[in-house]
Chains A and B, each alone.
Chain A
Amino acid sequence: MSAAAEDTKVVGGVELRRDPAREPCFTVVQTDAEMQEWPDMSDISRRERLHRHMNNETGAMEIAARCLLDFPDAPWDLRMSLARQVADESRHARLLYDRLRELDGYKGEFPIANFEWGVTLMLEDLPGRLAVQNRTFEAGLIDVLGTLRNRWREAGDDVTADLLEGILADEITHVRFANRWIKRITEQNPRTLLQVAMAVRFLGRVNEQLAPKPGDANAVGIQWTEERRLPPAVNVEDRRAAEFTDEEISEVLRQAGFRSILPVGALGN
């Protein structure tokens, strides 16, 4: 982790990559405590969810774009996958922005944070970035969307639920190409595993340092309980479609307290 000092910022004692360009209408914050987030599906919560997701998709677009730029000697088929990912994330950001406006929201209505960019761009090798951005953050989004689409539908908003279904399908392909490529490259060069392991360890350290603690509250006074700090329920079916192994899925399930969106017994245990 050795980005030039002028390209970095320090948050809670952790060195992260400085934020990408944002319009002045946005309030860019650095911690969960500064975010406004509501656990229910009230109107303001819905707009904030779309607003946050819109910025996260923008960040994913920017990370994939930087990978294209920073690794010109990567295999061409991988660069094609990254370019496709940029385009997909661009569409997602646009779709979410359009939906936000349909619900009378607007850019800059809520604070935003660029955590994924800050972490991933500290990594100086492509296997590490793919392990963190695609295999961890995007795979986490597979889990989140697996549950979230149903919450929007239960709340009577089929339009947003359908939109999220489309995004979920795309995210599976982004995780899958990273899984395939990391598998291929580690078979060719087992030392790549070290880069992957170091990247994941770096993310773990950052999370440990910056994740909200039980009892902490966000900017609108909502407290972080033990339950809210748990990872989302694991979307086993779509993780399989993204070509995680059963062993990897079991490990994620263990971390999530064995909560999945599959019926009990579907994993055969």
Chain B
Amino acid sequence: MGLTIRQKADRIGTFRFVSVYLMETLARWVPTTPELEAKVLFGRHLWDFAQHADGLGRRTGELRAAAHYSPRPADAYMTVLDTLAGASGTVERVAGFYDGFLPDLEARYRRYLTETDALNDEPSVRIIERILHDLPRLHADRSAFAAQRPDLAAQDAAWPTRIGALSKGAGNMVIDRPLARTAAAV
């Protein structure tokens, strides 16, 4: 059995929240990161997350939620996002974002594809497939950045590993609303 409409909306909306949060994180980093190559990397990818948020937000409006419905993730996952956003050095920002955070986000998108009915929920599936198509390009750009700026390579993997572990350990990021029937009974 696949997800209910409400569960789909909550998941897609939470992904949208995360996309907007990542867009804003990169926006915060652009003027506060000194290195031109890093600014360019963040600046170009910020647009990718805006487009992801846009597609996901349009979809929530088709799932009996408001367009651009964006519920806040569970506290444990918010801690991950806030920890990532709090990185202050260029090395920590790049490594934390691309090496630590994104792989777990990708895994969460893939998990959604296994949980939902691919035909019944095809519009969501297409949006997520497009997002998954973008992510390797972001990693390729990050690799090109590493080649341009070898002086900004992470000296130890502890930070991205910590972000990755925090992300994985956060468990389910979605706060499900009560089932409609239950809510009506109340």
Tell me the complex Cα distance, A87–B45, Å. 7
Interface flags for B7-40 (1: CB within 8 Å of A; 0: not) read: 0000000000000000110111011111110011
Q: Which of A22, A86, A89 contacts B27 (CB 8 A)?
A: A86
- Residue pair A69, B24 in contact (C-beta under 8 Å): yes
Q: Indicate which residue in B28, B30, B35 contacts A61 across the interface (CB closer than 8 Å).
A: B30
Query: Distance (Å) between the CB of B70 and the closest chain A CB?
Result: 10
Chain A interface: which size bin?
20 to 34
A254 in contact (CB, < 8 A): no
A85's nearest neighbour on chain B, judged by CB, is B47
Q: Chain B residues near A144 (CB, 8 Å)? A: none
Most chain A beta carbons < 10 A, residue from B32, B44, B54, B68: B44
**A84 in the interface (beta carbon within 8 A):** yes
B33 to chain A, nearest CB (A): 6
Q: Say whether A87 contacts B32, CB under 8 Å.
A: no
**What residues of B have a CB within 8 angstroms of the CB of A72 in the complex?**
24
Is the beta-carbon distance between A23 and B36 smaller than 8 angstroms? yes
Complex formed: what's the CA distance from A22 to B36 in Å?
A: 8
Contact of B50 with A80 in the complex, beta carbons under 8 Å = yes
A179-197 vs B, CB cutoff 8 Å, 1 = contact: the mask equals 0000000000000000000
Within 8 A of B (CB), among A103-117: 107, 117
Whether A173 sits at the interface, judged by CB under 8 Å, is no
Q: Name which of A37-45, A90-98, A219-227 contacts chain B.
A: A90-98
Contacts of B33 in A (CB 8 A): 21
Q: Which residue of B lies closest to A121 (CB)?
A: B31
**CB of B46 closer than 8 Å to a CB of A:** yes
Does A58 belong to the interface (CB within 8 Å)?
yes
B34→A87 contact, CB < 8 A? no
Q: Check if B57 is an interface residue, CB within 8 A of chain A.
A: yes
* Residues A68 and B31 in contact, CB atoms below 8 Å apart: no
| Alpha-carbon separation in the docked complex, A76 to B50 (Å) | 10
Query: Does A79 contact B43, Cβ atoms closer than 8 Å?
Result: no
Partner of A66, one of B31, B34, B49, B54: B31
Chain B residues within 8 Å of A249, by CB: none
A170: CB under 8 A from chain B?
no
Q: Cβ of A93 and Cβ of B54 under 8 Å apart?
A: no
Asked whether, in the complex, the Cβ of A62 is within 8 Å of the Cβ of B35, the reply is no
Among candidates A24, A87, A93, A107, residue contacting B46 with C-beta atoms closer than 8 Å: A87
* Contact between chains at A20 and B47 (CB < 8 Å): no
A93 touches B39 (CB 8 A): yes
Cβ-closest chain A residue relative to B45: A87
Residues on B with C-beta less than 8 A from A84 are 47, 50
Residues of B within 8 A of A89 (CB): 43
Binary flags per residue of A148-172, CB closer than 8 Å to B gives 1, else 0: 0000000000000000000000000
User: Does A97 contact B43, Cβ atoms closer than 8 Å?
Assistant: no
A131 to B3, CA, bound (A): 47
| Contacting pair A23 B31 (CB below 8 A) | no
B34 touches A58 (CB 8 A): no
CB neighbors of A among B69-110 (8 A): none
Q: Mark A3-17, 1 if CB is under 8 A from B, else 0.
A: 000000000000000
Q: Are B43 and A21 in contact (CB under 8 A)?
A: no
Tell me, rounded to whole Å, the shortest Cβ–Cβ distance linking A240 to chain B. 27
Does A65 sit within 8 A of B, measured CB to CB?
yes
Interface check A83, CB cutoff 8 A = yes
Chain B residue with Cβ nearest A94 = B40
The docked-state distance in angstroms from the alpha carbon of A180 to that of B24 is 24
A–B complex contacts, Cβ < 8 Å, 14 sampled: A20-B32, A21-B34, A23-B34, A62-B31, A76-B57, A79-B50, A83-B23, A83-B50, A86-B30, A87-B44, A90-B40, A90-B44, A91-B40, A94-B40
Interface residues in chain A, defined as those with a beta carbon under 8 Å from any beta carbon in chain B: 20-24, 54, 58, 61-62, 65-66, 68-69, 72, 76, 79-80, 83-84, 86-87, 89-91, 93-94, 97, 107, 117
Apart from A23-B36, A69-B27, A87-B43, list 9 A-B contacts with CB within 8 A.
Answer: A61-B39, A65-B27, A69-B24, A69-B28, A72-B24, A86-B43, A87-B46, A93-B40, A97-B36
